[in-house]
Amino acid sequence: MAAAAAATPPAAAAASPPLQEFSVAEERSGHCAVVDGGCLYVWGGYVSIEENEVYLPNDELWIYEIDSGLWSMHLMEGELPPSMSGSCGASVNGKLYIFGGYDDKGYSNRLYYVNLRTRNGTYLWKKITDFKGQPPTPRDKLACWVYKDRLIYFGGYGCRKQSELSDCFDVHDAYWGERIFWGWHNDVHVFDTTTQTWYQPKIKNGVPPQPRAAHSCTVLGNKGYVFGGRVLQKRMNDLHYLNLDTWVWSGKICTNGEKPGDRSWHTLTSVTDSKLFLFGGLSSDNVPLSDGWIYDVATNKWQQLKYLPKSIPRLWHTACLGKEGEVMVFGGSKDDLHFMDTGHCSDLLIFQTQPYSLLRLSLDCIGKMLHLALMDEAVLEQIKITNISLEVFLMIILADVWVKAANLCVEVLCL
pLDDT digits (tens, 9 = 90+) for 250-270: 999 999 999 999 999 999 999
Tell me the mean pLDDT in the region 158-165: 78
pLDDT in tens, 237-252: 999 999 999 999 999 9
Share of the chain above pLDDT 90, in %: 64
Give the architecture-level CATH label for domain 2-414.
6 Propeller (2.120)
Q: Quick one: pLDDT at residue 181?
A: 86
Most confident of 13-17, 79-83, 120-124, 169-173: 79-83
Do the beta carbons of residue 304 and residue 258 sit within 8 Å?
A: yes
The identity of residue 276, as a single letter, is L
Q: Quick one: pLDDT at residue 308?
A: 84
- For residue 309, name the pLDDT band (cuts at 50, 70, 90): confident
Q: Quick one: pLDDT at residue 414?
A: 40
Quote the CA–CA distance of 306 and 290 in Å, as a whole number.
Answer: 11
Q: Quick one: pLDDT at residue 172?
A: 72
pLDDT at 1 over 90: no
Quote the CA–CA distance of 88 and 96 in Å, as a whole number.
Answer: 10
Give SS3 for 84: coil
- For residue 325, name the pLDDT band (cuts at 50, 70, 90): confident
- For residue 20, name the pLDDT band (cuts at 50, 70, 90): low
What DSSP assignment string belongs to 293-304? Answer: EEEETTTTEEEE
> What dihedral angle (degrees, nearest 10) is formed by the CA atoms of 114, 116, 119, 124?
20
pLDDT at 94 over 60: yes
Do the beta carbons of residue 28 and residue 346 sit within 8 Å?
A: yes
Map out the domains of the chain as residue ranges.
Answer: 2-414
Q: Quick one: pLDDT at residue 411?
A: 43
Quote the CA–CA distance of 34 and 318 in Å, as a whole number.
Answer: 9
Share of the chain above pLDDT 70, in %: 77
User: Rounded to 5 degrees, what angle do the CA atoms 356, 362, 367 make?
Assistant: 105
Beta bridge partners of 189: 153
Q: Quick one: pLDDT at residue 76?
A: 97
Tell me the mean pLDDT in the region 379-403: 42
Tell me the mean pLDDT in the region 13-32: 72
372 membership: H or E segment, kind and range: helix 358-374
Quote the CA–CA distance of 57 and 13 in Å, as a whole number.
Answer: 27
- For residue 413, name the pLDDT band (cuts at 50, 70, 90): very low
pLDDT in tens, 166-213: 767 667 766 555 677 889 999 999 999 999 999 999 998 899 999 999
Q: Which residues contact 246 (CB under 8 A, 6 or more apart)?
A: 204
Do the beta carbons of residue 384 and residue 309 sit within 8 Å?
A: no
Quote the CA–CA distance of 203 and 248 in Å, as a whole number.
Answer: 6
Neighbours of 220 (CB within 10 A): 18
Angstrom distances, CA of residue 82 to CA of 70, 72, 88, 125: 27, 22, 14, 11
Q: Quick one: pLDDT at residue 406?
A: 46
pLDDT in tens, 41-85: 999 999 988 778 899 999 999 999 998 889 999 999 999 999 999
- For residue 164, name the pLDDT band (cuts at 50, 70, 90): confident
Q: Quick one: pLDDT at residue 270?
A: 98
Q: What percent of the chain is helix, strand and coil (3-state, nearest 5)?
A: 10, 45, 45
pLDDT at 364 over 90: no
Do the beta carbons of residue 9 and residue 117 sit within 8 Å?
A: yes
Q: Quick one: pLDDT at residue 352?
A: 84
The identity of residue 235, as a single letter, is R
Q: Are strands 70-78 and 123-127 parallel, antiparallel or unpaired?
A: parallel
pLDDT at 390 over 80: no
Quote the CA–CA distance of 372 and 380 in Å, as a whole number.
Answer: 8
Q: Quick one: pLDDT at residue 121?
A: 83
Judged by average pLDDT, the poorest of 2-16, 31-45, 287-301, 391-405 is 2-16
Q: Is 180 exposed, middle or buried (0-12, 13-18, 19+ CB in 10 A)?
A: middle
Q: Quick one: pLDDT at residue 52?
A: 83
| pTM, rounded to two decimals | 0.83
Q: Quick one: pLDDT at residue 93?
A: 97
Half-sphere exposure of 250 (CA within 13 A, CB side): 17
> What dihedral angle (degrees, nearest 10) is formed by the CA atoms of 401, 402, 404, 408?
130
Q: Which of 230, 146, 142, 218 is nearest to 187 (CA)?
A: 142
pLDDT at 389 over 70: no
406 membership: H or E segment, kind and range: helix 399-414
Q: Which residue has the higher pLDDT, 174 or 216?
A: 216
Half-sphere exposure of 186 (CA within 13 A, CB side): 22
Beta strand residue intervals within 155-283, DSSP E:
157-161, 169-175, 180-185, 188-192, 197-199, 216-220, 223-231, 234-243, 267-270, 275-282
